[in-house]
Amino acid sequence: MQILTLRTLHFFQHGRAFSSMTTSIPSVTAKPRLRGVVFDMDGTLTVPVIDFPAMYRTVLGEKEYLKIKSENPTGIDILHHIETWSPDKQKRAYEIIADFEKQGLDRLQIMPGASELCGFLDSRNIRRGLITRNVKGAVDLFHVRFGMIFSPALSREFRPYKPDPAPLLHICTTWGVQPDEVMMIGDSLKDDVACGKRAGAFTCLLDETGRYDSPEYESTEFKPDYKVTSLVEACSLLEKNFDLAT
Ligand SMILES: [Mg+2]
């Protein structure tokens, strides 16, 4: 049987059609099963409206911002930086961040393709979850505006947050699925892709502008399995690469 299989594969590699033998071929190219998709919120399900550089400047001060930026060319983890500050300084920082997030909420828009993708997942009985570093209030408002619920939806209150894999592993446990049956979709290489890869999930980077094509991202530790420039592309990507059987 083993020999037949190898021979069959050999014939295939040489492009010969042995249709009578194809029925006994084990499914060597079986697509992985997909049971759930976990989304990032800001910049993935919603159009990015938070001016992150301006937020970092205000929280850190211009001098500290430039210093930290030069040390972290692929992105600043602002929550991580302020965690070691004194309670007073930290409180002020959180207030500034909340202000910027509120401005973002006031202008909240749903990302093109997001509703269609979620409808597609629902039609295939594929679970939808959400992980954000934003606060629970923002997730609640998003749910109201979007009109579909993501469950679980983990916000900043769930520790440790992305890029730690803990929130994604928590969702997998809640769903009763393995991480390799789940895809994480997000617009951040350092948070979403890192979280997904650390958890052992498939990852898809949403890169609308092609900014991750620039050289400074070439040597980053975690690379996405897939990349799209719009959520509109995601349905066909999932259909092509995964077993979506209900
Ligand atoms: Mg994001």
The answer to whether the Cα torsion of 165, 175, 28, 226 is positive or negative is: negative
In which band, very low, low, confident or very high, does the pLDDT at 23 lie, cut at 50, 70 and 90? low
What confidence score (pLDDT) does residue 5 get? 41
Question: Could you read off the pLDDT of 70-125 as tens digits, one per residue?
Answer: 998 888 999 999 999 999 999 999 999 999 988 888 888 999 999 999 999 999 99
Q: Closest Cα partner for 222 from 201, 238, 207, 236?
A: 201
Question: For 36-48+109-241, which CATH class?
Answer: alpha beta
Residue 49 predicted with pLDDT over 70: yes
CA of 45 to the centre of ligand 1 (A): 8
Position 194, amino acid:
A
Catalytic positions are: 40, 42
Three-class secondary structure of residue 66 per DSSP: helix
Question: Could you read off the pLDDT of 60-69 as tens digits, one per residue?
Answer: 999 999 999 9
What confidence score (pLDDT) does residue 25 get? 56
Q: Which residues of the chain are in CATH 3.40.50.1000 domains?
A: 36-48+109-241
Close Cβ partners of 188 (under 8 Å, ≥ 6 residues apart):
40, 43, 75, 162
Q: Closest Cα partner for 114 from 208, 7, 225?
A: 208
Mean pLDDT (whole number) for 178-184: 98
CA of 220 to the centre of ligand 1 (A): 18
Three-class secondary structure of residue 43 per DSSP: coil
What confidence score (pLDDT) does residue 118 get? 98
CA of 178 to the centre of ligand 1 (A): 24
Residue 151 predicted with pLDDT over 90: yes
Q: What percent of the chain has pLDDT over 90?
A: 75
CA of 90 to the centre of ligand 1 (A): 22
Q: What is the value of pTM for the model shown?
A: 0.80
CA of 103 to the centre of ligand 1 (A): 16
Helix or strand (DSSP H, E) at 153: strand 153-154
DSSP 8-state symbol, 232? G
